[in-house]
A and B are shown apart, each in its own frame.
Chain A
Amino acid sequence: DAGVIQSPRHEVTEMGQEVTLRCKPISGHDYLFWYRQTMMRGLELLIYFNNNVPIDDSGMPEDRFSAKMPNASFSTLKIQPSEPRDSAVYFCASSVGAINTEAFFGQGTRLTVV
């Protein structure tokens, strides 16, 4: 298996532009997680899905952020409009079940908003 695949690996955009991050989870995994990593705040859980349904989005910072999972093999995280403080590494992870199980992480998307 290729693991969790994220695209793009790097994204540089101007403030105010829309940004879409993409994730393909490991086949057969029923949970998908979006995390944000910054020096100041560490690793934060933004949202997670179970069987394509959003379960907990309490970590989404504000309405500018939205996430979808239209099917079991694809998810997007969208920021509109983007701001410089959104600059971070965004990770997608997937797992089989949630309790006591290993979460498999993608390589992340490094987002820079200028």
Chain B
Amino acid sequence: GDSVTQMEGPVTLSEEAFLTINCTYTATGYPSLFWYVQYPGEGLQLLLKATKADDKGSNKGFEATYRKETTSFHLEKGSVQVSDSAVYFCALWADSSYKLIFGSGTRLLVRP
């Protein structure tokens, strides 16, 4: 079935470091891909999305490129800030089951 796999956390970085959070997926067809972010005590918020192969989603300095050949949608940011500390969820819209499927989430801790 359709699924999303994310790297285990927590990821701990110093401020201004480069961030990569890996995400790979399994799906039939051509799913849309998303990154959501959850700040402490809050619900999830959409960070960025890509709807077709080679699309790049970007927002708030974060980027992710839809790579169909490697079935990946890795999240990157060139210089993280303490305020980026949160849990990041990769997700896909599965046409086969008509639902949004989330990965397990990756906690990011950014130290000053």
- Asked if B69 lies at the interface with its beta carbon under 8 angstroms from chain A, I say no
Q: Which of A42, A45, A107 contacts B43 (CB 8 A)?
A: A107
Residues 43-60 of A at the B interface (beta carbon under 8 Å): 43, 45, 48, 55-56
B49 partner residues in chain A, CB cutoff 8 A: 100, 102
The number of residue pairs between A and B whose CB atoms lie closer than 8 Å in the complex comes to 48
CB distance A4 to B93 under 8 Å?
A: no
Q: Which of B32, B43, B98 contacts A56 (CB 8 A)?
A: B98
How near does chain A come to B23, taking the closest CB pair, in angstroms?
14
CB distance B44 to A105 under 8 Å?
A: yes
- Asked if A25 lies at the interface with its beta carbon under 8 angstroms from chain B, I say no
CA distance A47 to B53 in the complex (A): 29
* Interface residues on chain B, number (Cβ under 8 Å): 21
- Asked if A103 lies at the interface with its beta carbon under 8 angstroms from chain B, I say yes
Q: Which of B32, B102, B104 contacts A99 (CB 8 A)?
A: B32
Instruction: Given A42-B102, A42-B103, A56-B99, verify A100-B32 contact (CB < 8 Å).
Output: yes
CB distance A102 to B46 under 8 Å?
A: yes
- Asked if B58 lies at the interface with its beta carbon under 8 angstroms from chain A, I say no
- Asked if B45 lies at the interface with its beta carbon under 8 angstroms from chain A, I say yes
Instruction: Given A43-B89, A56-B98, A98-B98, verify A103-B103 contact (CB < 8 Å).
Output: no
- Shortest Cβ distance from A3 into B: residue: B43
B43 partner residues in chain A, CB cutoff 8 A: 4, 91, 93, 105-108
* Interface residues on chain A, number (Cβ under 8 Å): 19
CB distance A100 to B93 under 8 Å?
A: yes
- Shortest Cβ distance from A45 into B: residue: B99
How near does chain B come to A99, taking the closest CB pair, in angstroms?
6
CB distance B105 to A43 under 8 Å?
A: yes
- Shortest Cβ distance from A31 into B: residue: B100
- Given A42-B105, A56-B98, A105-B45, 16 new contacts (CB under 8 A): A33-B100, A42-B102, A43-B105, A45-B100, A45-B101, A48-B99, A91-B44, A93-B43, A98-B93, A99-B32, A100-B49, A100-B51, A102-B46, A102-B49, A103-B44, A105-B44
The chain A residues found within 8 Å of chain B, CB to CB, are 4, 33, 42-43, 45, 48, 55-56, 91, 93, 98-100, 102-103, 105-108
